[in-house]
């Protein structure tokens, strides 16, 4: 009888452990604290980012204990931005459908909601990126499925180079995120204690 031995990448195992620890810290945050921190994140984001009218901003509807981005997204919309949310198309792909007033939200995979199938698909130029953990260099650990890495790579292939802003609570910071070749460093991390920039300018070009 022949046995197959599965080899696990040490980096992937380390990322998995860091992800679980960071999400565990996030999960035990008091609900009231998460609400106040999400409002603080909105205030900081609206103060520190200047977007042109018509800028295409992608965000995400909160699941589990995530930051609630809705106050920030709606603030951007009031300033003339077009909003879109990620929708899982298959096991490899997410697209971004436009979020407009009055359109009902539908289940869009991964436990979240988004615009329906007939919504316009947009290519975001300013992305608020979900994450499980981050470090002080601007590297992130996602939820493990790689959807955003592939979506960003696809956008870059068609000539769209979106600004990448990670959004999280302070408690999700880890000492260091191990690098992998496909990782996309973030321009900035936005948390309840402020905005940390790592590259590019905070003013839309």
The enclosing domain of 98 has a CATH number of 3.40.50.10420
Entry pTM: 0.88
**Annotated binding-site positions for ATP:** 15-19, 140-148
Tell me the average pLDDT across 96-103: 93
Domain assignment present for residue 146? The answer is: yes
Query: What percent of the chain lies above the pLDDT cut of 70?
Result: 92
**Annotated binding-site positions:** 15-19, 66, 140-148
Phi first, then psi: what are they for 190, rounded to 5°? -110, 120
Domain that holds residue 155: 10-197
Domain assignment present for residue 1? The answer is: no
Domain assignment present for residue 24? The answer is: yes
The better pLDDT of the pair 10, 160 is held by 160
Side-chain-facing half-sphere of 181: CA atoms under 13 Å: 0
Position 1 scores a pLDDT of 46
Domain assignment present for residue 3? The answer is: no
Tell me the average pLDDT across 61-74: 95
Domain assignment present for residue 202? The answer is: no
- The single residue listed with the structure tokens 């009902």 is 104
- Taking the C-alpha atoms of residue 130 and residue 65, their distance in angstroms, rounded to an integer, is 12
Question: What Cα–Cα distance (Å) separates residue 178 from each residue in 17, 132, 188?
Answer: 12, 14, 18
pLDDT per residue as tens digits for the range 155-200: 999 999 999 999 999 999 999 999 877 777 899 999 999 999 987 5
Domain assignment present for residue 2? The answer is: no
- The tokens for 128 are 């608020």
Q: How many structural domains are present in the chain?
A: 1
**Annotated binding-site positions for substrate:** 66
Domain assignment present for residue 108? The answer is: yes
- The single residue listed with the structure tokens 């204990």 is 65
Of 78, 69, 30, the residue nearest 51 (C-alpha): 78
Cβ burial of 6 (10 Å; 0-12, 13-18, 19+) is: exposed
Kindly indicate the confidence band of residue 201, based on its pLDDT and cuts at 50, 70 and 90: very low
For the chain, give the mean pLDDT.
Answer: 90
């Amino acid at each position: 009888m022949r046995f197959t031995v599965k080899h696990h990448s040490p980096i992937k195992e380390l990322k998995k452990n860091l992800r679980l620890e960071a999400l565990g810290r996030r999960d035990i945050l008091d609900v009231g604290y998460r609400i106040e921190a999400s409002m603080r994140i909105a205030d900081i984001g609206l103060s520190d980012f200047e977007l042109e009218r018509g800028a295409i901003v992608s965000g995400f509807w909160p699941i589990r204990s995530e930051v609630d981005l809705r106050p920030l997204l709606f603030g951007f919309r009031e300033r003339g931005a077009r909003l879109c949310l990620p929708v899982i198309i298959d096991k490899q792909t997410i697209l971004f459908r436009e979020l407009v007033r009055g359109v009902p939200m539908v289940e869009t995979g991964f436990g979240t909601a988004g615009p329906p199938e007939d919504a316009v698909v947009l290519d975001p130029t300013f992305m608020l990126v979900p994450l499980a953990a981050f470090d002080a260099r601007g590297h992130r650990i996602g939820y493990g499925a790689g959807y955003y890495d592939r979506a960003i790579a696809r956008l870059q292939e068609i000539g769209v180079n979106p600004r990448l802003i990670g959004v999280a609570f302070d408690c999700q910071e880890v000492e260091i995120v191990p690098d992998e070749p496909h990782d996309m460093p973030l321009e900035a991390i936005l948390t309840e204690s402020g905005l940390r920039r790592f590259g590019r300018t905070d003013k839309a070009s």
